[in-house]
């Protein structure tokens, strides 16, 4: 059993509006309209905000992240993101 299989039994790790950073290069797998397959949608270190939270195959959360620099809203899994702490 993979560890993501039980993810939906817990609340989402991130919240809508939360600032996050990409931990992984994200390329279009064919599900992002208007971009070629393989086009880079987000680079490691890119900052975005959680716009919505959905599910994938009833096993894990998908976080729609809005990257302000590109305007892209990209679906990301928990392992692809990390929280960005706001300095006060």
Distance of CA 71 to the CA centre of its chain: 14
Rounded distance between C-alpha atoms, residue 49 and residue 34, angstroms: 21
- Residue 4 pLDDT greater than 60, yes or no: no
| Number of folded domains that form the chain | 1
Residue 4 lies inside a defined structural domain of this protein: no
CATH of the domain at 67: 2.30.30
- Give the helix, strand, coil percentages of the chain, each rounded to 5: 10, 40, 50
Average predicted confidence (pLDDT) for the chain? 89
| pLDDT value of residue 3 | 52
Confirm if 58 and 37 have CB atoms less than 8 A apart. Answer: no
Residue 73 lies inside a defined structural domain of this protein: yes
- Residue 66 pLDDT greater than 60, yes or no: yes
User: What are the tens digits of pLDDT across the range 22-49?
Assistant: 999 999 999 899 999 999 999 999 999 9
Rounded distance between C-alpha atoms, residue 59 and residue 72, angstroms: 25
Expressed as residue numbers, the domain containing 51 is 18-83
């Amino acid at each position: 059993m993979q560890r993501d299989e039980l993810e939906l039994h817990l609340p989402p790790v991130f919240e809508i509006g939360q600032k996050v950073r990409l931990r992984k290069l994200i390329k279009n797998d064919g599900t992002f309209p208007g971009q070629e397959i393989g086009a880079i949608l987000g680079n490691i270190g890119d900052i975005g905000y959680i716009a919505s939270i959905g599910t994938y195959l009833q096993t894990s959360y998908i976080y729609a992240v809005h990257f302000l620099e590109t305007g892209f809203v990209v679906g990301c899994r928990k392992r692809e993101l990390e929280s960005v702490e706001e300095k006060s």
